[in-house]
Amino acid sequence: MIIGIDLGTTNSLAAYFTPEGPKIIPNRLGKRLTPSVVSMDEEEQIYVGDLAVERNLLYPGSTASVFKRDMGTGRKFKLPHKTFTAEELSSFVLRALKEDAEHYLGEKVTEAVISVPAYFNDARRRATKKAGELAGLKVERIISEPTAAAIAYGLYQHQERSRFLVFDLGGGTFDVSILEHFDTILEVRAVAGDNFLGGEDFTAVLEDMFFEKYPQFSKLSLDEKTLRHIHKQAELCKIGFSHGRKSVMECKIGEESFKYEVELSKYEEACEELLEKIRQPVKRSLMDAHIRLSDIDKVVLVGGATKSPVIRRFVSRLFKALPDTNINPDEAVALGAAVQGAMKERKEAIKEVILTDVCPFTLGTEIVREWEQGRFERGVFCPIIERNTVIPASRTERLYTVNDNQTKIRINVLQGESRFAANNLSLGELVIDVPPGRAGEEAVDVTYTYDINSILEVEVKVISTQKTAKQVFCGQDVNMTQEEIQERLDTLSYLKIHPRDKEENKYLLLLGERIYEESLGDKRIYVESALHKYEKALDTYDSGVIEEAKEEFKKFLEELEDF
């Protein structure tokens, strides 16, 4: 059996698929959520979940939490006698979930689908897979949290073509994803987010408000145990807003108790800066998907932090509609991951659906750019497959030599958004020989082909000699042999054909050129403008944009011919 796991910043949980649908697996304490907290005692005994939370209040130096934010970074967390990476700490949480599942289901569990924020880069996804392997799990797939949530909500079962926005605010990360469903395809159109924004930050606002109320105290003057206590009371105060427009923090510092009553309106005002940070990824995702707010048919809330009335009121105002909250936001991702596991097992109860995804980060290479005659800037990032490109996808960029008698071109394969190559993640490099000559005379075509299985093929072809170099870079969740990878890449060879070179598009372009040559005056200007618009759409490689532009251009040409 393949279980689905939501490895969260604040809480984690597992689910499995039954003939009646996906169900949450309770942990050893009978609870549905397991806190993503790890503690170690003096005898080096590891504790996970609620027990670790309680130890955190008594022995704060012995506990680690919110480590998901540091997946893939190499950061070390110090516990008594030992230090651990974020993936090692995560493996303890995953192992606890695995053991709870085995106890509850009465069978061995060795496979899992694990969710990650959509905006996790390859290093973070690879670290998540490593955590699963350390826990004794074969990770069948790493699935983006918003995609898992969309599956849980059954968005792929809608009959009409529709667009959804998944608003996922967890304890430590924020994702917004736009998905489109048509026929049997559930396509991710755009993702955006912030790996360092979540419910913990909204709790921190209440802590700051408490210290403003009682300026005689500061975070520097209090011991760790007292700070943990204040944090716990702030969390309870935040939850209290779900029951009314006022909530109370009661903190014991030393021998005295300090009470702080907070108005919801004042708390909302204090959260304005965080809410603005949420607004930015929403705007970016809509822009990347080339749609307006009014084009969204449904907004789905995911993540425990979305239960806060501050967040729900903000989302309702932002989208001018009430979001869908039919599924517990804490559980939607795990339930969807369980359904994905059932899809992998081809369970009969599951409707077959094709899931497409997008590149969450831009893929490109390092170049030297000439800004003006004789003035060069080195270490510049050249995007080849841009973020939020629907995958599978293939793109080609032509690059030229920059030095006289240059004999080699180095392609540094990069992932990221910075215009400076050094700020992006290097996945590896290729080097190819070119004939010596004057700067700019020799050129190479660099083709990136990226697959939903996180397989990136980079092919470099020297224009003058037709010599090629090729390398395959595999992502975090590829469990395929070299033969299977090559077979998959062979099936994607059609992607390397530019949309301009496809027969129907080529026919329409030729037809447009013929009508342009036959036209005069204003008519010629109109035809040229329409041709330019259609060519621009073809250069996007976006099937949806191209299809829309093709129909518009075809109609335009038919009307001209009739005229």
Q: Does residue 236 contact residue 203 with C-beta atoms inside 8 Å?
A: no
Phi and psi dihedrals of 21, rounded to 5? Answer: 120, 180
User: Is 183 one of the catalytic residues?
Assistant: no
* Closest residue by Cα to residue 143 from 130, 153, 128, 163: 128
- Any idea of the CA torsion for 166, 327, 354, 296, to the nearest 10 degrees? -40
Query: How far apart are the two ends of the chain, measured CA to CA in Å?
Result: 64
Output the pLDDT for position 208: 96
Phi and psi dihedrals of 44, rounded to 5? Answer: 65, 25
Q: Does residue 501 contact residue 495 with C-beta atoms inside 8 Å?
A: no
Output the pLDDT for position 492: 42
What distance in Å separates the CA atoms of residue 77 and residue 93, rounded to the nearest whole number?
15
* Closest residue by Cα to residue 236 from 225, 226, 250: 250
Output the pLDDT for position 547: 81
User: Is 200 one of the catalytic residues?
Assistant: no
If you write DSSP's letter for every residue of 224-284 in order, what string do you get?
A: HHHHHHHHHHHHHHHHHGGG-SEEEEEEEETTEEEEEEEEHHHHHHHTHHHHHHHHHHHHH
Coil, strand or helix at 560: helix
- Any idea of the CA torsion for 476, 482, 487, 489, to the nearest 10 degrees? 50
Q: What is the DSSP letter of 324?
A: B
Output the pLDDT for position 543: 67
Output the pLDDT for position 489: 46
Output the pLDDT for position 477: 43
Catalytic residue among 6, 70, 187, 457: 6
Q: Does residue 442 contact residue 435 with C-beta atoms inside 8 Å?
A: yes
Residue with tokens 């959260």: 271
Token digits of residue 28: 């050893």
What distance in Å separates the CA atoms of residue 318 and residue 477, rounded to the nearest whole number?
36
Residue with tokens 């996180």: 454
If you write DSSP's letter for every residue of 338-354 in order, what string do you get?
A: HHHHHHHTT-TTSPP-E
Output the pLDDT for position 493: 52
Token digits of residue 195: 């790996």
What distance in Å separates the CA atoms of residue 267 and residue 498, rounded to the nearest whole number?
53
User: Is 6 one of the catalytic residues?
Assistant: yes
Tallying the residues shown for the chain, one arrives at 563
Residue with tokens 């496809």: 502
- To the nearest 10 degrees (0 to 180), the angle between helices 521-538 and 503-518 is 160
* Closest residue by Cα to residue 23 from 321, 285, 337, 349: 337
Q: Show contacts of 245-249: CB within 8 Å, 24+ apart.
A: 249/206, 249/210
Q: What is the DSSP letter of 453?
A: T
Catalytic residue among 87, 122, 168, 201: 168
Phi and psi dihedrals of 219, rounded to 5? Answer: -65, -25
Catalytic residue among 87, 145, 201, 459: 145
User: Is 212 one of the catalytic residues?
Assistant: no
**What is the pLDDT tens value at each position of the chain, 563 positions in all?**
899 999 999 999 999 999 888 999 999 999 999 999 999 988 889 999 999 999 988 887 899 999 998 998 889 999 988 999 999 999 999 999 999 999 999 999 999 999 998 778 777 888 999 999 999 999 988 888 888 888 888 765 655 778 889 999 988 889 898 988 776 677 788 888 888 899 999 999 999 999 999 999 998 889 988 998 999 999 999 999 988 899 999 999 988 999 999 999 999 999 999 999 999 999 999 988 888 888 898 899 998 899 999 999 999 999 988 898 888 999 999 999 998 888 877 665 555 566 667 777 899 999 998 776 767 888 999 999 988 887 778 888 999 999 999 999 999 999 888 889 998 888 889 999 999 999 889 999 999 988 766 678 899 999 999 999 988 876 544 444 556 545 544 544 544 455 666 777 888 888 888 888 877 788 888 888 888 888 888 877 766 678 888 888 888 888 876 65
16 residue type, one letter: Y
What distance in Å separates the CA atoms of residue 344 and residue 353, rounded to the nearest whole number?
11
What distance in Å separates the CA atoms of residue 434 and residue 430, rounded to the nearest whole number?
13
pTM (2 decimals)?
0.68
Output the pLDDT for position 99: 95
Catalytic residue among 68, 98, 129, 238: 68
Please classify residue 445 by burial: count the beta carbons closer than 10 Å to its beta carbon, then call 0-12 exposed, 13-18 middle and 19+ buried: middle
Residue with tokens 């992998």: 344
The strands making up 375-385's β-sheet, listed across from edge to edge, are 375-385, 363-372, 408-415, 425-433
* Closest residue by Cα to residue 296 from 322, 271, 273: 322
Which residues have CB under 8 Å from 213's CB, separation 6+? Answer: 260
What distance in Å separates the CA atoms of residue 289 and residue 190, rounded to the nearest whole number?
5
Q: Does residue 406 contact residue 442 with C-beta atoms inside 8 Å?
A: yes
Please classify residue 244 by burial: count the beta carbons closer than 10 Å to its beta carbon, then call 0-12 exposed, 13-18 middle and 19+ buried: exposed
Q: What is the DSSP letter of 420?
A: B
